Structure 1
Amino acid sequence: MTINNPESFLRSLYQVAVDAVSAEKCLPAFLPSPPVNGRTLVIGAGKGAAAMARVVEQHWQGQASDLSGLVVTRYGHGADCKYIEVIEAAHPVPDAAGQQAAARILQMVQGLTADDLVLCLISGGGSALLALPAAGITLEQKQHINKALLKSGASIGEMNCVRKHLSAIKGGRLGLACGAAKVVTLLISDVPGDEAGVIASGPTLPDATSCEQALAILHKYAITIPDAVQEHLRSGQAETPKPDNPLFAGHQHHIIATAQNALDAAAAAARAAGITAYILSDGIEGEARDVGMVHAALARQIADKNQPFSKPCVVLSGGETTVTVRGKGRGGRNAEFLLSLVNTLDGHPGIYALACDTDGIDGSEDNAGAICSPDTVKRAASLGLRPAVMLDNNDGYSFFEALGDLIVSGPTLTNVNDFRAILIT
């Protein structure tokens, strides 16, 4: 089977992957029944929270007018809702809008009874968006620590462990605040392994991590913290509610969309087009540039020796890589991955690749990711661009922008993290 336009083919796989994990497709089947006597309060946070709230209103089995509540999402990721309020705030570094929204959500759940239902809508990005510092810690201190973690190369699990222990709402604290109410949490997973309590730092789910682990993570990445934060973590006051807490006994949670769902959909679309598809993993982590080098080596082996797969084929993978920032360039982890792959392949014939974040935002830039082809290095050279030099400066965005190879999708209103597709013809 020959693909006439490899770039368009890869872009179509990305779109199929994103559509497969949209709230419209995944959420309706998980909606709980409305309470018989009590009220329904809808709360939530994340890049997909507003879209999830809109779907709740559209598919609610009771009267939509019975719904009320508030969700917080990233700036530009809003959706039109009639009964559920939508607030936009900053991501990945929290701001005052997120802090105010978190405080309001925490206040809304006070005084609920066993007749009431709390429907909590969680997706990736919720950790930064629900920014309510614990007592004695300022928003500025949390911002500083958050920025340092983002640059350190820490994994999402490590970052969220720290965030939980510096928060008044995450790590299960919001769930406890709901009191006797029935709590149902619906989650779109953006974390490798799909551990529910890690997604958005698990505001309604109990937490098995500890203050000691949070301190160890900060020490591991040599992150300087104020004395107030040090004391907060050492005192034990920051400890999160644990899984054996009986107040969580009646709570429910469902992961409604994952990276595996996105990869399965893309693989099915590729096979329907006559191209054999292989899924490497839905949970690849590590430095983006290292992951790029490994993927390049695999692609070369297929292209040259038909091992471990025969060409033509497309190799798919997901997960969440990290970038340890050493340079002063622009770009998220997907641009970094792809630039590393380009640098390693050095124009190897017959290999095309795409790397994008499923939320439509690569890091803090305006692109979802980028795409490359066998002539990428040659075209870059004609512009005086050297992949290795730009990789050393963490400048993947500028590299692909100059070539016109950025993928700008706009916010997708969902988030299952990285999507990578490598086509070997």
Structure 2
Amino acid sequence: MASIEAMIKWMKDREGKVTYSMTNRLGPNSYDCSSSVYFSLIAGGFLPSGSMGNTDTLFGDLERNNWRQVAPVNGNYRVQRGDVFIWGARGASGGASGHTGIFVDSVDNIIHCNYGYNGITTNNHDVIWGYNGRPPITVYRSAAAKPEPPKLPTKNPEQPIKKGINYETHVSKVGWMNNVANGALSGSTGYNLPVEAVKILFKNNQIQASVSYRAHVSSIGWMPWVKDGQLGGTTGQSKAVEAIQAKLTGEAANYYNLEYQAHVADKGWMSWVKDGATAGTTGQKKSLQALKMKLVRKPIDQGTSQPTTKGVSYRMHLANEGWLGYVTNNQMAGTTGLGIESQCLEVYVDGKKENVQIDAHVAEKGWLTNTGGTTGQKLSLQAVKLKLKNGLEKQYDISYQVHVSEKGWMSWVKNGAVAGTTGQKLAIQAIRIKLTNK
């Protein structure tokens, strides 16, 4: 009895073990596309022993042995395991003018003996077809073959855009896979389906930033940079994305590295790269099939190690970060958009702490006099009052503005007024302080 599995097994047994040759095409060490298909059809019991021909004679040999053409539906072939394809016009597809192989599944993966990889390999049909200029296709199926339901990867559950890095891939035969975020897999593995396009979006309402990215596409190369959810790549053209580059811009680039990882045909998951580096391959004709992206926070580098001797300088102690460096007049001390609580504030005026009084409202303690908060107690700073002393209050106003969790930047106040909140359990995350002449 004829067997599709025995036919494919003949090819699989030689995958990666033989070379391609149109001169020495009858084995056992080398074959060309048509001779390997003839031998596999014989092994499967579909052709008599001793049968041999070329790509052009294969049309008739298949039809005489009860193989039927598969009709396209809306321009696409609904293939299944064991279908045989022939590229090229009948009567003019011999030699280098044609190509043939066998589908190994219903999502367009083929096994074929080919010049490009110098032997028998498994590849995505549409990718290889695109590399070869999209020649005419004829697909044959044995009359004895049973229909197979298509096996396609499922889409990710629909979910809204969330804080962090969001991304979505357009996968061959499936379409857009729905948004994922922060390290989740987009695309598919195990189906050999290429990604054809990507959309990437950075979201954080408290940080002014965006993400820029570009795709390297089969038969096109690097496409222009796009940003903030725009399409990188192509759809409807059967062109595989082979690599991507992506980077943060704006304030987010000060806080985060954008790291990403590509799953590539014949290679699997490659190493993580970051900040504009290439994930995937170029020049190897290997499609990118899945993608993961994540934000990795950088160490916070802010200010200087010593306060200034003139004017105002100040620094924040942050949860899990410790003391940051000193900043000066109207600069931000602390962070926004990272969700990091401040715990203590230190202020110098003209190089001296004693020139300013700080009162701090601290979680679980309430108002503390003549201190900027606490360290080592994991207690958030929630409100502050600042006053100049030692005669400086007659020369200057001290104004200050705090950034509070869930509220953002609050209004400027000055000269001992309360900045922040009490009784709401909301932490100060950042502060700006400035002196102005009276």
TM more than 0.5: no
With normalisation by structure 1, the TM-score equals 0.30
More strand by proportion, 1 or 2? Answer: 2
Larger Rg: 2
Normalised to the residue count of structure 2, the TM-score between the two structures is 0.29
Hey, which of these two has a bigger chunk of helix by percent?
1
